[in-house]
Structure 1
Amino acid sequence: MKLKHISHLQEYSNCKLFGLAPDNEEIYCFELTNKNGMKVQLTNYGATVTSIQIPALDGKMTDVVLGFDNPDAYIASYNLPNAPYFGTTVGRYAGRINKGRFTLNDKTFELVENNNGNALHGGKIGFGQKIWDVTDLNGQLVTFHLISENLDENYPGQLHVFLTYTLTEENELKLEYKATTTEDTVINLTHHSYFNLNGHDADVLDQEIFIDADKMLETNNESIPTGKFTVLDGHDFDFRTAKNCPASIDNSFVINTDVAIAAHLLSPKNNLKMSVYTDQPSVHIYVGGNCFDVLKGKENVNYTPISGICFETQNFPDAPNHDHFPSSVLKKGDEYQQTTIYKFENIN
């Protein structure tokens, strides 16, 4: 059911009208809370996280993700030379697909090219620019639903996507994705929050990152995977020993199998830690772009290229064009499933 069709919105105390889309369709915001005082705010425009507020040991709240105060700003951000995708759900395919082209079942599909002749993050109008339905809602959970029609951005198959955000009592934000298709297709969904454990008005350079990966994808000068891997022994981007965030990074790390924690971010200043758990084969780390030094964010804050860091848990970019990469094919009759958890802890 579409939430806007529910006649008694006052029944949902954690749901409010956020604003209107250009076609006057209503956009809503939602707030999830737990017994510890943690708050997560989301909108059904793009199934987007707009705020994550973490209570410190002294009770002070820290908003640890970048975002905007209103839907107009989110909508306008997609018209920038490089959209930031603040907090959004990326699909149908996260990352780049070389030349916007792939072959499936002996048929070649020419996708919409939106990044130097390549397809990026689902095309010109990806999932982050769509208004999702809401099928379930309570104080600690919201489920968004989207129908992506056959040949949306030239991807085959009508895709039904469900994404449930759950805020647990352990200060975990749990993301559970499910999808089915009417035809064989490719899919790679991810979450695109820019995290900053010192608050969204600071930079991330004094925060430490750990990634349980001993290799990352090798890419060319257009950030397209070559099919080879870069071994991280002795590399500046070997984060198996935690080190400070670099000022610029845009790389996919191959997560070691059967690890407890794929990655974590630590703020020595705030004594706050975020751990990332996922069942996906990689985490794409991104810092250093798409903020233009003048991008006005929440609470009148100017965001810069070092204001946040993304932990995009996903399959490999360009996997449809590399047989030795994990398969990104979703067959008709099968179900795509993915789970990612961001857990926040105060460290003494």
Structure 2
Amino acid sequence: MFKNHISQNNPSLNEKFFGLTPENQEVFCYTLTNKQGMEVSVINYGATITSIKIPNSNGIKTDVVLGFDKLESYINSFNLPSAPYLGAVVGRYAGRINNASFILNGEKIQLTSNHNRHQIHGGSVGFSQKVWTVKSIPSEETQSIILEYLSVDNEENFPGELSVRVTYTLTDQNELKVEFSAKSTEDTIVNLTQHSYFNLNGHQENINHQKITINADTMLETTEELIPTGKFISLKNHDYDFSTTKDCPAIIDNTFVLNDTKAATMYGEKSKIKMTVITNQPAVHVYVGGNCFDQIKGKEATEYHKTSGICFETQNFPDAPNHSHFPTAVLGKNEWYSHQTIFKFENL
């Protein structure tokens, strides 16, 4: 069996075997716990968050993200009509790239296409379907886990060998800090995100009537295939103006241009849990879904559907390599990519 974790000889109490991939690679689940009793569980398949449990004043915990109980379900979910990417890290490039191609240093790069003629979320087998190497696990000193993945040169036709690291840290202030870093041997493009689906009333609930705000005045205009046109849409008097609190929409798949590092908030009236999303990224892509098409059951035999959860995918703009006026997604040779996002939870 391939070893992709660091504690083969000294298994930790917060490390549990989660399963074997078809290639016989071991996958483990690691749990971070803080002094408030909050728990975050992560597997090294896709560097995926499988659960986030928030305790209330009585110590009763609500699991606020969608996920599966078995590795097999995560693997099989990528064969669904529309893969949900539940809780996974997405890369090399989150979102859509028009015609699966872009120009870099005067050369056309033709990527693999996995979304009609376009590419989405890194291609046919992106970072979400890779077994990551665990470099550091939670300890008494720090409730943090570091996972790394080495994307070889020309993987999904992206140039350069890319070393990627994600660090998940749980603070005693009920903050989950997500930190990405990456470095390439050649000029390339990078856009990473965390693809958890949140439901603050519990993963078995419906997100309808949960309240959200998004700190944006504009969003990207897109085609019918959700490819950015390069234009911006004003949100003044728009249905998707979430500058003031509104119910979660039943349908949304849009990129919002952020005004500030405080990207969004969400509140579940039933659970009294509030989440604030803080990021150094220029955009948040908001998507409602989680549908498993009655083919795979979620945790605790839950039937996930079209309004099971909402994603706040903090990131650069989709298709940025094809729009010179968008923030650049080019990562120069031997330069560092850096992305920080915090999901902060409060009981109100």
The TM-score normalised by the length of structure 1 is 0.97
Aligned to 1:227: 230
Q: Is residue 163 of structure 1 aligned with residue 180 of structure 2?
A: no
Residues of 1 paired with 2:58 and 2:135: CA distance? 37
Q: Do residues 202 (structure 1) and 205 (structure 2) align?
A: yes
| CA-based RMSD | 1.3
CA distance in 2, matches of 1:126, 1:62: 30
Whole-Å separation in 2 of the counterparts to 1:199 and 1:252: 25
Can you give the 5+ residue segments of structure 1 that lack an aligned partner in the other structure?
Answer: none
Match of 1:15 in 2: 15
1:159-308 pair list within 5 angstroms: 159-256=162-259, 259=260, 261-288=262-289, 290-292=291-293, 295-308=296-309
Unaligned runs of 5+ in 2: none
Change (3 A) 1:102 1:207: same
Kept in 2: contact 1:208–1:267 (CA 8 A): yes
How far the C-alpha of 1:289 sits from its partner, in A, is 5.9
In structure 2, the residue matched to 1:29 is 29
Query: Is residue 80–residue 293 contact of structure 2 (8 Å, CA) maintained in 1?
Result: no
Q: Give the direction of change, closer, same or farther, for the CA distance of 1:294–1:26 in structure 2 (3 Å limit).
A: closer
SS at match of 1:138: coil
Q: Determine the structure 2 residue equivalent to 1:344.
A: 345
1:31-50 equivalences in 2 (<5 Å): 31-50=31-50
- Deviation, 1:290, is 3.8
Quick check: 2:291–2:304 contact (8 Å CA) kept in 1? Answer: no
Q: Deviations over 1:226-285 (max 9, x none)?
A: 0000000000000000100010000000000xx352101011121110000000000000
**Aligned letter for 2:134?**
V
- SS class of match (1:76): helix
Q: Which amino acid aligns with 1:78?
A: F
Counterpart among 140, 149, 154 of residue 151 in structure 1: 154
User: Aligned to 1:296, what secondary structure does the other structure show?
Assistant: coil
Q: Report the equivalent of 1:91.
A: 91
Query: Is the CA contact (8 Å cut-off) linking 1:163 and 1:178 kept in structure 2?
Result: yes
Q: Which amino acid aligns with 2:264?
A: A
Tell me, in whole angstroms, the C-alpha distance in 2 between the residues paired with 1:236 and 1:174.
31
Matched letter for residue 160 of structure 1: S
Query: Does structure 1 retain, via aligned residues, the 8 Å contact 2:279–2:340?
Result: yes
SS in 1 for 2:300: helix
- Residue 64 of structure 2: aligned partner: 64
Give the corresponding residue for 2:128.
128
- The offset of 1:2, in angstroms, is 5.4
* Secondary structure at 2:108 match in 1: strand
**Aligned-partner Cα distance in 1 for 2:28–2:7:** 12
CA distance in 2, matches of 1:159, 1:260: 27
1:156–1:236 Cα change, 3 Å: same
> What one-letter code is carried by the residue in structure 1 that aligns with 2:271?
N
SS, match of residue 73 in structure 1: helix
Per-residue CA deviation, residues 160-194 of structure 1 (Å, 9 max, x unaligned), is 00100000010000001000000000000000000
Partner-residue secondary structure (3-state), 2:216: coil
Q: Is the 1:9–1:15 Cα contact (8 Å) retained in structure 2? A: no
TM-score, reference length from structure 2: 0.97
Aligned residue type for 2:159: P
Worse overlay, 182-191 or 138-147: 138-147
| Residue identity (%) | 55
Equivalent pair of 2:77/2:292 in contact (CA under 8 Å): no
In the TM superposition, what is the alpha-carbon distance from 1:293 to its structure 2 partner? 5.1
Comparing 243-252 with 290-299, greater Cα deviation is found at: 290-299
Structure 1 match to 2:317? 316
User: Letter of the aligned partner of 1:272 in structure 2?
Assistant: I
* Secondary structure of 2:262's aligned partner: coil
Alpha-carbon offset, residue 4 of structure 1? 4.0
